Amino acid sequence: MPVTTAPIVLRLDRITKRFGALTANDAISFELQQGEVIALLGENGAGKTTLMNILFGHYTPDEGSVEVFGQPLPPGNPRAALEAGVGMVHQHFTLADNMSVLENIVLGTAPLWRPGFGRAAARRRIKDLMQDYGLRVDMEAQVGALSVGERQRVEILKALYREARILILDEPTAVLTPQETDDLFATMRRAVARGLSVIFISHKLHEVTAISSRVVVLRHGRLVAEARTADTDAAQLAQMMVGAEVAAPQVRQANPGALRVSLRAVTTPDRGSAPGLKAVDLDLRAGQITGLAGVSGNGQAALADLIGGLIAPASGALHISDAPVTGWSPRAALAARIARIPEDRHKTGTIADFDLTENAVLELYARPPFSRRGWMNWRAARDFAQNIISGYDVRCPGPETRIRLLSGGNMQKLILGRVLETTPDVVLANQPVRGLDIGALTYVHEQLLAARDRGAAVLLISEDLDEVTALADVIHVISEGRMSPAFDRGALSVAELGVWMAGEGFDHAA
Amino acid sequence: MRLEPIANPALTRRLGLPALALAGTVVIASLLAMIAGAQPFSVLGLILNGAFGSKFATLETLNRATPLIFTGLAVAVAFKARLWNIGAEAQLYMGAVVTVVLGTGALAWPSAALLPLIALAAMLAGALVLLVPTFLKTRFGVDEVVTTLLLNFVVLLWVSMLLEGPLKDPMGLGWPKSARLIEEARLPRIIDGLRLHWGFGLALISAAVVWVIQRRTTLGYEMRAVGLNAEAARFAGIPVNATLIKTALLSGGLAALAGFSEVSGLKGSLTLDISPGFGYTGIIVAMLALLNPLGVVVAALFVAGIFVGADSMSRAAGVPTYLADIMLAVALLLMVLAIMLTKFRVRRG
């Protein structure tokens, strides 16, 4: 969909990449013109990074081809990509901390062990590049001593020094302060003005609308939309990104009851680039599903950790069933009858090399009947695991199976069984269906609804807007750590929620 | 070449590869013996004969294995929880010092009361030495590999100071050596007339106790969970730091028992050379045993056998005893490789 007649510098043709049963990229094609910024937009796991790794030669595609400046690019060869003029700035930097900025930039282009190695010439060239692109870094500083923003500038200089004509920036703003982001955008504008082309990967909508000329949206490995940025807006983009394929389960009328969890002006510290909570008010009621919508990395993790007992409020008050919490910890959260379904079931929810029995009692091992006076009762534990396996349809050879052998869906069912068997008062479900197939997904949703109908207060955190609108009785939107007011189901359209997700409603509301 | 994780390694792989590692050790040791100018298989025969060929040799090997079982258990317990205790040597010496302090006449108790007291006090001292680095790790994130390793030298110098000062034997003709333990503080022999003391029995009991702790108690469950995935353990409400502290107490205590057993059971007094690196060799023992407490007993016998056998082999064949060190090093390297290959498959491209 060329908008001008500028020459095509990069053509991706039906790129397909599979990892086992997962199709990370499904026949993706698009073109990049000289002097434009394309934003590649998509949720976590949509296939953005995979696609760029194919372009840069880290992965070999199963099908399809890449053409740079009219020449086919040999697959799986980063050096060829470099030589063709493709430069990539990774999410995680690839710099040597114990070397100077100058040495890092030159590294790999000249033999460093030769005394001098044309240091003066290199210095002159880098100085010119800095001037041309508005990138300022102290060339003699050790990279280990630089801020994250400065390191990113070194990475960009590295690419420019290798005469990159196509710059790929993989979520570059994820690690930047707003001020640094503005500087980066200024550099990007200078780059395109000088005839470079940029692929900008992000899931922050306001940045995409601010810097890109065209948007390509990926979802579940497919290219689902391609549009001129001017023809669209943040709300529309949000809708394209999260899609609308979650089948709505049969939702019965909710019957809200007592206040189970309340947050009053709760603030938590920022963590790196991800914001903490900013004076958040939130009520979770019995017999109600509260949905939390929002684009990834806007404070959801902080909220989940807070209610899950991993962090305490820095300021503000957290009440559980009207009592202020003291000595807040995971154990205290469990004692307060809060069931937690963590975001990352592989890393946080289970221990891969433990068997199902050991994983089933992970949160319960310290109390009877699973242990008494420090002695484990493995028979009780095995019975409990067996109960979950049959009651929650966990497909596995038996309770002695190591959990790493289970599929994500079965792993999630075990976690679900583990937390729901205790008939909790509160259920904290953080991205409970991420990466699950449709069958497991529906099952998890039904269980959450059943927990609600039994009188549990459910908090459903999801980046999938349709999941939230389908299940939640009330919806909050979180953006940059700020919490929107509660909206009843159906009170706002998806487009209106998208506006909140883009962080635009808060100023008027405040 | 790249490595591909194997989801569920077959039993043949899990047992076959370590066996292959041992076979490889034998082959490489034979080659080295050949280079040293001896008949390769006769050297191995001599080592085996020297280690287990007679009653005397076997008892010697069991005696030598005793401290290695303790330090091997200490390391295995700590490593299982991912607490990298490289300081078993220091903890061993702490146990030895306490044994001398309490066992040279300060307390005139009967054996049945004095020995358990000394053992417990020794364990406490060893535990305390490991507690400091563990506390620094849980509280400030200080790398315990560095602190436990360096404490080895600190403690060794401190023991040296004690042996030149307050603990020096006045009858010792000026040697840096402690006074001898009183008879009540000596571990008795298991069978009268045979040079094998109850330290060996205590080591076997310790191995069984550690196995029971790891498999049957909440503490063992916590230690394994923390070692395999501390993040998930913390999320599930397992007190990660408290678990590490408890692990340190157990590990340090076990290493200290090695010092107690050597002084009380074997030597009768403390000298600076009471441990020829038992603390460090304990790491090899634990790794060879794949951190399994019962495996530690087998690995300690294997390692002790090589050392004892190499001594007599050296006298008979004229091959330097250093062959024993090389064999251990090769065995360790091959075992580490075998462990990796049970978990990963090597693929080309």
Domain-located, residue A445: no
A393 pLDDT tier (thresholds 50, 70, 90):
confident
Domain containing residue A197: 8-232
Considering only CA atoms, which of B64, B112, B7, B16 is closest in space to residue B339? B16
At A96, which CATH number? Answer: 3.40.50.300
- Residues B172-183 have a mean pLDDT of 83
Task: Assess contact for A283 and A426: CB atoms under 8 A.
Answer: no
Considering only CA atoms, which of B234, B235, B252 is closest in space to residue B243? B234
Domain identity same for A62 and A199: yes
Residue B207 has pLDDT above 60, yes or no: yes
Considering only CA atoms, which of B145, B151, B319, B230 is closest in space to residue A362? B230
Mutate to test the interface with B, among A331, A350, A376, A407 (most CBs of B within 10 A): A376
The tokens for A215 are 């948007």
H/E element holding B242?
helix B240-261
Domain-located, residue A395: yes
What Å distances lie between residue B240 and A329, A363, B136, B213, B273, CA to CA?
12, 13, 14, 17, 37
H/E element holding A457?
strand A457-461
Q: Per the omega criterion (within 30 degrees of 0), is the bond before A330 cis?
A: no
- Residues A306-328 have a mean pLDDT of 90
Q: What is the pLDDT of residues A333-377, one digit of tens each?
A: 999 999 999 988 888 999 999 999 999 999 999 998 999 999 999
- Residues A15-28 have a mean pLDDT of 83
CB contacts, 8 Å: A330 with chain B: 234-237
Tell me how far the alpha carbon of residue A359 is from its chain's centroid: 26
Task: Assess contact for A28 and A184: CB atoms under 8 A.
Answer: no
HSE-CB of B345 using CA atoms within 13 angstroms? 11
Q: What is the pLDDT of residues B38-83, one digit of tens each?
A: 777 777 888 888 888 888 899 999 999 999 999 999 999 999 999 9
Domain containing residue B193: 67-291
Domain-located, residue B30: no
- For B99, counting Cβ atoms within 10 Å of its Cβ (0-12 exposed, 13-18 middle, 19+ buried), the class is buried
Contacts of A385 (CB under 8 A, 6+ apart): A356, A357, A359, A360, A361, A399
For B194-218, letters b (16+ CB in 10 Å) and e give eebbbbbebbeebbeebbebbebbb
H/E element holding B2?
strand B2-5
Domain identity same for A130 and A21: yes
A419 pLDDT tier (thresholds 50, 70, 90):
very high
CB contacts, 8 Å: A333 with chain B: 237
CB contact under 8 A, A363 and B218: no
Considering only residues A269 and A506, tell me which one the structure prediction assigns the higher pLDDT.
A269
The tokens for B268 are 């009768």
Domain identity same for A227 and A251: no
Considering only residues B320 and A363, tell me which one the structure prediction assigns the higher pLDDT.
A363
Task: Assess contact for A101 and A145: CB atoms under 8 A.
Answer: no
Tell me how far the alpha carbon of residue B323 is from its chain's centroid: 20
Classified as helix, coil or strand, A276 is: coil
- Residues A9-26 have a mean pLDDT of 85
CB contact under 8 A, B225 and A362: yes
CB contact under 8 A, A330 and B234: yes
Q: φ, ψ for residue B284 (rounded to 5)?
A: -60, -45
Domain identity same for A66 and A127: yes
Domain identity same for A122 and A220: yes
The pLDDT of residue A247 is 47
Q: What is the pLDDT of residues A223-271, one digit of tens each?
A: 988 989 888 887 788 777 766 544 445 667 778 888 999 999 999 998 7
Specify the amino acid at residue A295.
V
Domain-located, residue B345: no
What Å distances lie between residue A293 and A242, A246, A497, CA to CA?
11, 15, 8
Contacts of A310 (CB under 8 A, 6+ apart): A330, B234, B235
Contacts of B33 (CB under 8 A, 6+ apart): B39, B40, B43, B44, B317, B319, B323
Domain-located, residue B166: yes
The tokens for A248 are 């709505």
CB contacts, 8 Å: A310 with chain B: 234-235
What Å distances lie between residue A88 and A170, A248, A438, A444, B76, CA to CA?
8, 40, 35, 39, 44
Find the closest chain A residue to B239 by CA distance.
Answer: A331
CA distance A419 to B231: 18
Radius of gyration of chain B (CA): 21
Considering only residues A489 and A354, tell me which one the structure prediction assigns the higher pLDDT.
A354
The pLDDT of residue B179 is 85
Classified as helix, coil or strand, A442 is: helix
The pLDDT of residue A510 is 44
HSE-CB of A453 using CA atoms within 13 angstroms? 11
Domain identity same for A159 and A253: no
Residue A43 has pLDDT above 80, yes or no: no
Contacts of B285 (CB under 8 A, 6+ apart): B68, B69, B71, B72, B75, B296, B299, B300, B303
Domain-located, residue A444: no
Nearest 5°: CA angle at A232, between A227 and A233? 140
In order, the DSSP letters of A111-164 are: -TTSSSTTHHHHHHHHHHHHHHHT----TTSBGGGS-HHHHHHHHHHHHHHTT-
Domain identity same for A398 and A509: no
CB contacts, 8 Å: B229 with chain A: 347, 351-352
Task: Assess contact for A38 and A32: CB atoms under 8 A.
Answer: yes
CB contact under 8 A, A308 and B235: yes
Domain-located, residue B233: yes
- Residues A53-59 have a mean pLDDT of 85
Task: Assess contact for A302 and A294: CB atoms under 8 A.
Answer: no
Domain-located, residue B13: no
Domain identity same for A212 and A324: no
Specify the amino acid at residue A76.
G
Q: Are strands A482-483 and A474-479 parallel, antiparallel or unpaired?
A: antiparallel
Specify the amino acid at residue B144.
E
User: Which stretch of A243-252, B209-218, B289-298 has the lowest confidence by average pLDDT?
Assistant: A243-252
The tokens for A158 are 């590295």
- For B139, counting Cβ atoms within 10 Å of its Cβ (0-12 exposed, 13-18 middle, 19+ buried), the class is exposed
Domain-located, residue A240: no
The pLDDT of residue B133 is 95
Q: What is the pLDDT of residues A121-159, one digit of tens each?
A: 888 999 999 998 888 888 888 888 777 778 889 999 999
Domain identity same for A206 and A169: yes
The pLDDT of residue B232 is 94
CB contacts, 8 Å: A354 with chain B: 224-225, 228
Contact of B242 with chain A, judged by CB distance below 8 Å, is answered with: no
Domain-located, residue A3: no
Specify the amino acid at residue B9.
P
The 10 Å Cβ neighbour count of residue A321 is 15
Q: How many domains, in total, are found in chain B? A: 1
Radius of gyration of chain A (CA): 25
A4 pLDDT tier (thresholds 50, 70, 90):
low
Domain identity same for A145 and A287: no
Considering only residues B44 and B119, tell me which one the structure prediction assigns the higher pLDDT.
B119
Query: From the list B7, B225, B232, which residue is nearest A348 (CB)?
Result: B232
Domain-located, residue A238: no
Q: How many domains, in total, are found in chain A? A: 3
Domain identity same for A32 and A148: yes
CA distance A201 to A12: 16
Domain-located, residue B346: no
- Residues A158-166 have a mean pLDDT of 91
Place of tokens 């196995």: B211
The tokens for A340 are 């937690």
Contact of B235 with chain A, judged by CB distance below 8 Å, is answered with: yes
Domain-located, residue B255: yes
The pLDDT of residue B23 is 87
Q: What is the pLDDT of residues A176-222, one digit of tens each?
A: 665 677 889 999 999 999 999 999 988 677 788 889 999 999 888 88
Shortest Cα distance, chain B CAs vs residue A363, angstroms = 5
Task: Assess contact for A81 and A57: CB atoms under 8 A.
Answer: yes
Domain identity same for A149 and A224: yes
CB contact under 8 A, A352 and B234: no
HSE-CB of A103 using CA atoms within 13 angstroms? 17
The pLDDT of residue A246 is 43
Shortest Cα distance, chain B CAs vs residue A344, angstroms = 10
- Residues B108-129 have a mean pLDDT of 93
Domain-located, residue A383: yes
Q: Could you say which DSSP state residue B272 is in?
A: T
H/E element holding B70?
helix B55-80
Residue A1 has pLDDT above 70, yes or no: no
Specify the amino acid at residue B227.
G
Find the closest chain B residue to A378 by CA distance.
Answer: B216
CA distance A86 to A57: 10
Q: Own/partner pairs for A60-65, CB < 8 Å, 24+ apart?
A: A61/A15, A61/A16, A61/A17, A61/A25, A62/A16, A62/A17, A62/A18, A63/A14, A63/A15, A63/A16, A63/A27, A64/A12, A64/A13, A64/A14, A64/A15, A64/A16, A64/A27, A64/A28, A64/A29, A65/A13, A65/A14, A65/A15
CB contact under 8 A, A374 and B217: yes
Residue A503 has pLDDT above 80, yes or no: no
Domain-located, residue B200: yes
Shortest Cα distance, chain B CAs vs residue A272, angstroms = 18
Classified as helix, coil or strand, B63 is: helix
Task: Assess contact for A341 and A416: CB atoms under 8 A.
Answer: yes
- Residues A386-404 have a mean pLDDT of 88
Considering only residues A323 and B249, tell me which one the structure prediction assigns the higher pLDDT.
B249
Domain-located, residue A378: yes
The tokens for A380 are 């009780």
Residue at a domain's end among A232, A267, A286: A232
What Å distances lie between residue B186 and A249, A251, B70, B114, B179, CA to CA?
75, 77, 18, 9, 13
Provide the strand spans (E) within A149-308.
166-170, 197-202, 214-219, 222-228, 259-267, 280-285, 288-293
Considering only CA atoms, which of A243, A184, A199 is closest in space to residue A48? A199
Q: Are strands B344-347 and B2-5 parallel, antiparallel or unpaired?
A: antiparallel
Mean pLDDT of chain A: 85
Considering only CA atoms, which of B328, B260, B317 is closest in space to residue B117? B260
